Amino acid sequence: MTAQQQTSNRSAKVNSFRVMTVMHRAAELEATGQKIIHMEVGEPDFTTAEPIIDAAKRALDKGYTRYTAAPGIIKLRHLICEHYQQNYGVDLGCEQILITPGASGGLMLLTNLLVESGAGILISDPAYPCVRNFIHLAGGQPQLVPVGRSENFQPTVELLTSYVSDSTRGVWLASPGNPTGTIVDREQLSAIARWASSHNCHLLVDEIYHGLHYVDDLPTALEIDPSAFVVNSFSKYFGMTGWRLGWIVVPESCVEVANRLAQNLFISSSSIAQHAALAAFEPQTREILESRRDAFRLRRNFLAQSLRELGFGLSDRIDGAFYLYASIERFSSDSEAFCHDLLERFGVAITPGTDFGEQEGLKHVRFAFTTGMDELRSGVDRLAQALGR
């Protein structure tokens, strides 16, 4: 191999997702006529709500097909400001909000903004794998904090204190988290924010599953720490995955640098998607989204109970997102083989924990309830059969 064919060392640290292999194989089996129950997919099964679609068409008719300002159209940033005011009681300056091409764009911007070469970022294990990869690409070091059922899969101040090092410059939280569906409650978030501040660490919080929570109180980090960096998205609660639209919130002191990065990294986010997203905050859209949230809640209730009955180990408090992270210790010590077998022999597609965790990934699998109740019931029946229950 000549140097010409060599790819960067950095890119070698970026894993592919095992869920892609699962999805690919599931599609192959479907092509042979087999019926597959999909509980692997990390996006809502609902099409984008009609009022958002209609707003996109109006934007097309008006010819809104050019670049927007790098941080996004003012109207949308205003609506997001209002959203924080109304739903969280947080007053932000509009300029603190930057629209990004999906949460992916937000993660990229924040890691480039904050992660120094060689800097350590504390992050739970398991976690959404892209975050580790973005930290690697920025030249930083993900410092994995193993969390299990006893911590409800979220870091504690005690754990952070055990894993902090001289190079640590940030703490990365996700609430609700993927793959676990657990949240960081107000008290814990306050404690972690204080800890981060006293350790001179940035606090970065993934809130992309906000809205899809099943408890009354889910605070944004901004209620507790105005210097926190937050990434959010129109993908999950707002049901706009394929549009690629998200946002970040940065403190005033970083607005100027964040804007420069946005100009360079993206030029702008999709104009049509931004204009469509204006309708995401309308009452009629909210009604649709809330009824979808109710559907997710019912699915969670059903699937969590069924899996517990089948012998999977689950957290007691799964309060958000559309995932269950289940221990398979009673059945297997190899989640990849377990998932493979389930797919090949029983037509059930789920994701091995090795996509998310380095420490206990082989002992866990992720179920996504991104499919209807009838499908979930069939899935549970097939699992019962597979496990001989």
Residues numbered 33 to 92 that lie near a copy of itself (CB under 8 A) are 43, 47-48, 53, 56-57, 60, 63-68, 70
Residue whose CB is less far from a copy of itself, 37 or 208: 208
Phi, psi of 16 (to 5 degrees): -85, 165
Binding mask 245-264 toward a copy of itself (x if CB under 8 A, else -) reads ------x-xx--x-xxx-xx
Q: Which of residues 270-309 bind a copy of itself (CB under 8 A)?
A: 270-273
Can you tell me the distance from the alpha carbon of 236 to that of 244, in angstroms, rounded to the nearest whole number? 11
Find the binder of a copy of itself among 150, 165, 200, 283 (CB under 8 A): 200
Find the binder of a copy of itself among 78, 88, 95, 112 (CB under 8 A): 112
Residue whose CB is less far from a copy of itself, 38 or 363: 38
Q: Which amino acid is at 314?
A: L
Closest approach of Cβ 70 to a copy of itself, in Å? 8
Residue whose CB is less far from a copy of itself, 275 or 363: 275
Closest approach of Cβ 171 to a copy of itself, in Å? 11
Find the binder of a copy of itself among 117, 283, 374, 388 (CB under 8 A): 117
Residue 4 binds a copy of itself, judged by CB under 8 A: yes
Q: Which two tokens stand for residue 4?
A: 């010409």
Residue 165 binds a copy of itself, judged by CB under 8 A: no
| Secondary structure (DSSP) of 74-110 | HHHHHHHHHHHHHHH-----GGGEEEESHHHHHHHHH
Distance in Å from the first CA to the final CA of the chain = 53
Closest approach of Cβ 294 to a copy of itself, in Å? 21
Residue whose CB is less far from a copy of itself, 128 or 214: 128
Cα–Cα distances in Å, from 213 out to 51, 112, 264, 292, 301? 23, 29, 34, 12, 13
Can you tell me the distance from the alpha carbon of 247 to that of 361, in angstroms, rounded to the nearest whole number? 30
Find the binder of a copy of itself among 124, 180, 269, 335 (CB under 8 A): 269
Q: In what order do the strands lie in the sheet with 323-327?
A: 323-327, 364-368, 351-352
Can you tell me the distance from the alpha carbon of 218 to that of 188, in angstroms, rounded to the nearest whole number? 12
Closest approach of Cβ 200 to a copy of itself, in Å? 4
Residue whose CB is less far from a copy of itself, 79 or 131: 131
Closest approach of Cβ 36 to a copy of itself, in Å? 17
Q: Which stretch binds a copy of itself (CB under 8 A): 146-154, 269-277, 310-318, 373-381?
A: 269-277
Find the binder of a copy of itself among 21, 190, 241, 378 (CB under 8 A): 241
Residue whose CB is less far from a copy of itself, 19 or 383: 19
| Secondary structure (DSSP) of 121-178 | EEEEES--HHHHHHHHHTT-EEEEEE--GGGTTS--HHHHHHH--TTEEEEEEESS-T
Q: Which of residues 216-235 bind a copy of itself (CB under 8 A)?
A: 227
Cα 14 from chain centroid?
18
Closest approach of Cβ 130 to a copy of itself, in Å? 5
Q: Which of residues 128-157 bind a copy of itself (CB under 8 A)?
A: 129-130, 133-134, 137-139
Tally of CB atoms within 10 A around 65: 10
Q: How many residues does the chain have?
A: 389
* Strands 364-368, 37-38: pairing kind: unpaired
Q: Which stretch binds a copy of itself (CB under 8 A): 78-86, 107-115, 182-190, 292-300?
A: 107-115
Can you tell me the distance from the alpha carbon of 222 to that of 74, in angstroms, rounded to the nearest whole number? 21
Placement of tokens 């689950």 in the chain: 314
Can you tell me the distance from the alpha carbon of 255 to that of 77, in angstroms, rounded to the nearest whole number? 14
Q: Which two tokens stand for residue 6?
A: 């060599």
Can you tell me the distance from the alpha carbon of 154 to that of 175, in angstroms, rounded to the nearest whole number? 9
Residue 244 binds a copy of itself, judged by CB under 8 A: yes
Q: Which stretch binds a copy of itself (CB under 8 A): 212-220, 237-245, 289-297, 308-316?
A: 237-245
Binding mask 357-376 toward a copy of itself (x if CB under 8 A, else -) reads --------------------
Closest approach of Cβ 229 to a copy of itself, in Å? 10
